[in-house]
Homo-oligomer: A and B are copies of this chain.
């Protein structure tokens, strides 16, 4: 395990020392990239309402990835029944009746942004950036590379088709320049999202017909960043519109570039080693 990595064996990492500082310095560089568009910083919560994700049919697309925020039903008899037995046996919690589960641990940073701008109309392009703890249940985990909980930095564009297209082109060029400056071996690759029963999902079929996701692969295997063109998918789902010069609003287009912070740590260590004195200048 690299120095500064604490690993619980179940997909959750603790960072400290030089590696924690590196994570913050990498994020400072991502924020500097976001400044090119004047992106507004947002700090979102961990939990997001299921009702919001339902608007994009999230639970039919990625039910296997979601972590659901469950609490015990609050009546004293139910809680007392929980405490009367052994609440934890072999590490597993013996839950009694649950209260209705209305939230999940957010699986991506930008869903919050669309939910919070629902019903709004925009007169010009808007850019936001956020760093958010995100959660995806996987069948296996690898420290820094594949985690249940991980840190995502996103830059998001809300605009017209042309503006979101331009944003992704410019963001791709900016990321290319950054990885070249660092000296990381990367290449972009077309990708699809990990849909449940993909072949039956119209959204997956759309992604196959009209590719919208590109991943930046480190070492030909590890996606450390991605660009995502959502067309008017989120604009329609969250009733967001873009005012046109000639009058009526049209559905808003959105796009984002996302960075998996811990995976960048893996790429830096993999390329330059554990010793911080051999790392490139980051977060200057």
Contact = CB atoms under 8 A, between A and B. Distances in A.
A15 to B, nearest CB: 4
A158 to B, nearest CB: 15
A42 interface: yes
Contact of A20 (B20, B41, B95): B41
A14 B49 CA distance: 13
Contact of A93 (B40, B44, B82, B101): B101
A46 B106 CA distance: 12
Nearest to A17: B40
Interface stretch (A62-70, A183-191, A211-219): A62-70
Main secondary structure on A side of the interface with B: mixed
A102 B112 contact: no
Interface string A27-66: 0000000000000111111111111011000011001101
A71 B72 contact: no
Interface residues of A, number: 65
Given A50-B91, A50-B92, A51-B91, A13 B45 contact: yes
Given A49-B10, A102-B10, A41 B63 contact: no
Given A59-B93, A63-B87, A92-B50, A12 B68 contact: no
Interface of A: 6, 8, 10-17, 20, 23, 40-51, 53-54, 59-60, 63-64, 66-72, 74, 76, 79-80, 82-83, 87-88, 91-93, 95, 100-105, 112, 116, 133, 135, 137, 139, 148-149, 196-197
